[in-house]
């Protein structure tokens, strides 16, 4: 919940200029709040940088105050959505089932979906990481299968906003588990920063990053995007 329309427009304009030399070597998307989507779409039009919403509802319309339908996002010019983010699960009652329903509706509308999965610290300490990931990814697989517009994001909840990062080895291990259930690209999310991005993104099986706090400043987010471009060269 950062950057209203004016600030988002300025951010996107600066990011567009900064990333112009590398677009084509890395896929880049920004995910602003609902109120800033139109400003981001306008500022990034024709740039190749995609705009994703942070959530979407599974119904096309109805008595769902506070929610936004997939077709509304399509009409606005949005390219994709994030579903099942750990903060949605932690604070707003998101479940494996509702995240999967949101993903299915967005895919049906033609949007790209970044579907988030990941374990809590207590679940990792209890040795339940694989169990949790298989359960979460299986819910998505049941409604979407290996859809060409579906991307998964592994975000170990204990590493989000804490400054702690899963080691590249732990990330690889988790991504491998995810792919045994659903063979789609997997991003890593969890305190990704310019100083660790290249090491993480160069690892086999780590297909990109879902960037949190480090995406709020143009310089730090651009540095991570540049690391992504280098990791594929």
Considering the entire predicted model, what is its pTM? 0.95
Domain boundaries, the chain: 5-231
- pLDDT at position 157: 86
Predicted confidence band at 161 (pLDDT cuts at 50, 70, 90)?
low
What are the residue numbers of the active site?
85, 155
> CATH homologous superfamily of domain 5-231?
Aldolase class I (3.20.20.70)
Distance CA 40, CA 62 (A): 27
Check pLDDT > 70 for residue 34: yes
Task: Give buried/exposed letters for 23-53 (b at 16+ CB in 10 A, else e).
Answer: eeebbbbbbbbbebbbbbbebbeebebbbbb
Identify the residue with better confidence: 187 or 232.
187
Summarize pLDDT for 98-156 with one digit per residue, the tens. Answer: 999 999 999 999 999 999 999 998 998 899 999 999 999 999 999 999 999 999 999 99
């Amino acid at each position: 919940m950062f950057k209203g329309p004016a600030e988002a427009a300025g951010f996107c304009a600066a990011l567009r200029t900064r990333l112009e030399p590398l677009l084509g070597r890395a896929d880049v998307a920004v995910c602003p709040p609902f109120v800033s989507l139109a400003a981001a779409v306008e500022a990034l039009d024709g740039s190749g940088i995609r705009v994703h919403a942070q959530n979407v509802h599974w119904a096309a319309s109805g008595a769902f105050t506070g929610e936004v339908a997939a077709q509304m996002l399509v009409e606005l010019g949005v390219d994709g959505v994030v579903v099942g983010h750990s903060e949605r699960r932690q604070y707003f009652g998101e479940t494996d089932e509702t995240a999967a329903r949101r993903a299915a509706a967005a895919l049906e509308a033609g949007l790209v979906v970044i579907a988030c999965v990941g374990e809590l610290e207590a679940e990792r300490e209890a040795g339940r990481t694989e169990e949790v990931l298989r359960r979460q990814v299986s819910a998505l697989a049941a409604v979407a299968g290996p859809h060409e517009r579906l991307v998964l994001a592994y975000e170990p909840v204990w590493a989000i906003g804490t400054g702690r990062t899963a080691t590249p080895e732990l990330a690889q291990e988790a991504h491998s588990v995810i792919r045994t259930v659903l063979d789609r690209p997997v991003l890593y999310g969890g305190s990704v920063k310019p100083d660790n991005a290249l090491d993480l993104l160069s690892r086999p099986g780590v297909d990109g990053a879902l960037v949190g706090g480090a995406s709020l400043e143009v310089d730090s987010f651009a540095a991570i995007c540049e690391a992504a471009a280098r990791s594929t060269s």
